[in-house]
Amino acid sequence: MIPEPYLQALFGGALIGLATALLLLINGRIAGVSGIFARALGFRGTDLGANLAFVIGLVLGPLSYSVIYGAWPAAEFRMPLLFMALAGLLVGYGTRLGNGCTSGHGIAGLARLSPRSIAAAATFVASGVVTVFIMRSLEML
Amino acid sequence: MTATLRTFIALLAGILFGSGLAISGMLNPERVRGFLDITGAWDPSLAFVLVGAVAVAAVGNLLSKAMSKPVLDDTFHVPESNGQIDQPLLAGSAIFGIGWAISGLCPGPAIASIGRDVSTIYVFVLAMIAGILIHSGQTTESDS
C-alpha cells in the first residue's frame, strides 16, 4: 500500500501530465514553464496571448485550491531572502541557457525520450544533489 | 478564432498544471529539496510526481504521433529529437540545478505560488526574471 502523500504526489503528477498532453495535442506546444514564462514576458517568440494565459492559469490553479480547501497546501520557507535572490538568478539564467527546466526537459522531454532532455534532467538532478550535499556539509540545512 | 481557442486551452492547461502542483505537495520547497537530499532525510515524493506526469504525458506523445497536426495549429512546435547535447544545454542545466537546490523552487512552483503572500516567492520570481533578462541581453534569439 502506497502512503497517502505519495498517492497525492502521483495524482497531482497525473494532472500535470494531462496539462502537458493537452498543450501538445491541441496547441502543438511543449509545456515548458521556463520557456512559456520567458515568452509571456515578451522576450522571445510568438503567441504572447496563449503564453500569458498559461501563466495566469498556473497562478489561478493553486489559488482555487486554497479557496476550495480553505488554505494553501503546507509549505515551509526557511531560506534567507539573500539566498532566494541568488537562487532565482541562477534558475532564471540557467533555464534559458539550458533551454528548459523540470517541466520542459523533466516531464515533456522524458515523455518523448528526447536525448537532450534526458541529458539535461540528469545534469540538473546531479547538480542539485551535489549542491544539497554541500549545503548539508556547511550546516546550512 | 483559432488563436482565441488556443489561448483558452493554454489557460486550462495552466490551471490543471498549477492544481497538480498544489495537490502533489510540490509547492513546498522543503519537499523538493528533500528529493535531492539523498544522504539526509530523502523524500521520494518528487519521483512519484514525475512518474505520474511522465506516464500521462507519454500517452499524449504517442497520440500525437498518430496525428498529422495538432487540433488548433498547422504544425507541432516540438524540438528536433536528434538535437545536439551541447555545452549550453549542460552548463545551463547545471546552473539551474544549483539554484533549484538552494531554493527548493523551479519555475513552475515559483510562479504557481505568486498568489501566496510570501516575500520569499516575490524575491525569487523577481530574481528569476532578472536572470532571464541577463540571458536575453547576451543573446539575440529569433526562434519561437
Alpha-carbon gap: B32 to the closest alpha carbon of chain A (Å)? 10
Number of compact structural domains in chain A: 1
User: Domain for residue B143, yes or no?
Assistant: no
Is residue B144 pLDDT above 70, yes or no? no
User: Domain for residue B35, yes or no?
Assistant: yes
Number of compact structural domains in chain B: 1
Please answer whether residues A92 and B58 qualify as being in contact, where contact means their C-beta atoms are separated by less than 8 angstroms. no
**Is the minimum CB–CB distance between A35 and chain B shorter than 8 Å?**
no
User: Domain for residue A133, yes or no?
Assistant: yes
User: Domain for residue B144, yes or no?
Assistant: no
Alpha-carbon gap: A31 to the closest alpha carbon of chain B (Å)? 9
Q: Going by C-beta distance under 8 Å and a sequence separation of 6 or more, which residues neighbour residue A52?
A: A40
User: Domain for residue A38, yes or no?
Assistant: no
Domain that holds residue B57: 2-138
Domain that holds residue A91: 78-141
Cell 535572490 belongs to residue: A85
pLDDT at A141: 85
pLDDT at B142: 45
User: How far, in Å, CA of B105 to CA of B121, rounded?
Assistant: 9
User: Domain for residue B48, yes or no?
Assistant: yes
Per-residue pLDDT tens digits of chain A, which is 141 residues long: 778 889 999 999 999 999 999 999 999 999 999 999 999 998 766 789 999 999 999 999 999 999 999 999 999 999 999 999 999 999 999 999 999 999 999 999 999 999 999 999 999 999 999 999 999 999 888
Is residue B105 pLDDT above 90, yes or no? yes
The verdict on ipTM greater than 0.85 is yes
Is residue B94 pLDDT above 70, yes or no? yes
Nearest to B125 among A46, A88, A135 (CB): A88
pLDDT at B140: 61
One-letter-per-residue 3-state SS of B29-53: HHHHHHHHCCCCCCCCHHHHHHHHH
**Is the minimum CB–CB distance between A103 and chain B shorter than 8 Å?**
yes
User: Domain for residue A116, yes or no?
Assistant: yes
